[in-house]
Structure 1
Amino acid sequence: MRSYLVALIFITTAINASAQHYKYIDSTKISGTARYKRQVKTNPDKQLVEIKQYVPAVVLDIRYATTNNFMHRRMYQQPKAYARLPVVKALQLVEADLQTRGLGLKIYDAYRPYSVTVKFYEMTSDTNFVANPRNGSKHNRGCAIDLSLIDLKTGKELDMPTGFDSFSKKASANYPELSQQKLNNRQLLKAVMQAHGFTVLPTEWWHFDFNGWAGYELLDIPFSAL
């Protein structure tokens, strides 16, 4: 009996030591690497895939892998963009649609580990622009993309209401007091994304949620594990 209890204590301690604990949310609601792999085995559509491998023409400007962001420090170690497989397949259709117009996508951010969302919130708790970690973010589910449009001939971004990650009122997806060119460009981005299964976030013209996001778990997996 004594040896059994010692073994039980050892196993329990090991489990607790390896488990990630979160102060804003029940840990059972967050999937780490091991749980994520089990989910993918059950449903391959839950795989996080590198967007550039499926949409080679997309331009990446992963701001959180640089210091050019509102945190003013690197949040990611690799300048990569991942999303769930159905999300990336929808982006393939978006890119193909845009290319017929001489345009393409520039991506600023996609899948974001939950632990990074916590750091954002603790820097600025304005939930108009950062997700509340008590609920998690669509980015944490691999189902949100931050992006803009580029001209394929010049490689330059189209004129949009604000830059990425602006905390101003002009960042709203429906802010009216803009030049006609900015209004047209914002509406074009919104229309093409909506046509292929995405919905814009009201407070951020660049942020689009995949319409099937509710079927995917919150994740806290570093890029190095993907």
Structure 2
Amino acid sequence: MTGSTSASRTFVVAAAAVLLAPAAAGPTAAGEFVALRSVDATIIQELRYTGRHNFVGAPVDGYRQPLCIVTRPAARALHRAQSKLLRQGYSLKVYDCYRPQRAVDHFVRWAKNLDDETMKKEFYPQVDKSRLFADGYIAQRSGHSRGSTLDLTIVKLPALSTRPYVPGEPLVPCSAPQSERFPDISVDMGTGFDCFDTLSHTDDPRIQGGQRANRQLLKRTLTAEGFVNLPEEWWHFTFRPEPFPDTYFDFPVAGPANGRPGPPP
């Protein structure tokens, strides 16, 4: 994230007010979105959709900067969860936070283009791309667009830096042993993030030992702070009650433009 914490918070408020005025939530939405770093700067961020290391293989529409934006109640709950994990020698790491509807639309267009299988070997090696809608991996709308859903994992401290992904590098299936997968510094959860495979189901019986314990630590810690896990994805959690349970926002993920609060060009 670029710019100061206060600038990030100010921008999010201003951008929401300008871009969401026609929405049902009206201007009250502005004060409910914050930059996560303004609430807890210790949570590690690796926002996958701003770059190329994701199932699309390209930066996704609507992610103009690597900035985690969430509703204020969700951010406060994450801070409480992080405080507990820090005392145990762990940290949260977020992969995705608020997701504009235009990003979801990008996923839908990509899924319909059956010729583009650039990232298949890593993210959906066992699934035919034509099945992504039917099997529930891609949908027309996402809870992320309501602002209280996040994708995240746990990292053992002290945390190393994740090495840069090099486009075109050899891909390894997301269901392979952790020692063979892309090294993203997460504890071993049994699969990588965004793995389109039934092994990603939080309570899949094939996941045992330390992998299962790691998933349960994440789920137990977040559940205690009001988050609900999506059973099909060990990394996916939604804070309840959601401030905007029926509103799907579309303002872009970005920071201050030219040093001044307001929507980027």
Smaller-chain TM-score range?
Answer: 0.7 to 0.9
Matched, 1:139 2:144: yes
Secondary structure of 2:235's counterpart equals: strand
Structure with higher RCO (Cα < 8 A, 6+ apart)? 2
Q: How many residues align?
A: 192
Partners of 1:85 and 1:172 lie apart in 2 by: 28
In structure 1, the residue matched to 2:3 is none
Given that 1:49 and 1:85 are in contact with CA atoms closer than 8 Å, whether structure 2 keeps it comes out as yes
Runs of 5+ unmatched residues, structure 1 = 1-30
Identity %: 29
Select which of 42, 55, 77 maps to 1:70.
55
Runs of 5+ unmatched residues, structure 2 = 1-16, 112-131, 161-184, 255-262
Which deviations, in whole Å up to 9, do the C-alpha atoms of 1:9-56 show, x marking residues without a partner?
xxxxxxxxxxxxxxxxxxxxxx98142799464366x52111112111
Partners of 1:92 and 1:66 lie apart in 2 by: 26
Given the superposition, is the C-alpha separation of residues 202 and 214 from structure 1 closer, same or farther in structure 2, using an over 3 Å criterion?
farther
Partners of 1:36 and 1:152 lie apart in 2 by: 44
More helix as a share of residues: 1
Partners of 1:195 and 1:40 lie apart in 2 by: 31
Secondary structure of 2:52's counterpart equals: coil
Matches within 5 A, 1:86-125: 86-124=73-111, 125=132
Partners of 1:140 and 1:150 lie apart in 2 by: 25
TM-score normalised per structure 2: 0.67
Given the superposition, is the C-alpha separation of residues 82 and 40 from structure 1 closer, same or farther in structure 2, using an over 3 Å criterion?
farther
Partners of 1:170 and 1:65 lie apart in 2 by: 26
In structure 2, the residue matched to 1:128 is 136
More strand as a share of residues: 1
Matches within 5 A, 1:1-226: 33-35=19-21, 39=25, 41-42=27-28, 47-75=32-60, 76-124=63-111, 125-126=132-133, 128-130=136-138, 132-133=139-140, 136-155=141-160, 156-213=185-242, 215-216=244-245, 217-224=247-254, 225=263
Secondary structure of 1:166's counterpart equals: coil
Partners of 1:36 and 1:175 lie apart in 2 by: 42
Q: Which of the pair has more CA radius of gyration? A: 1
TM-score normalised per structure 1: 0.78
Q: What is the CA RMSD across the aligned residues, in angstroms?
A: 2.3
Alpha-carbon deviation of 1:145?
0.5
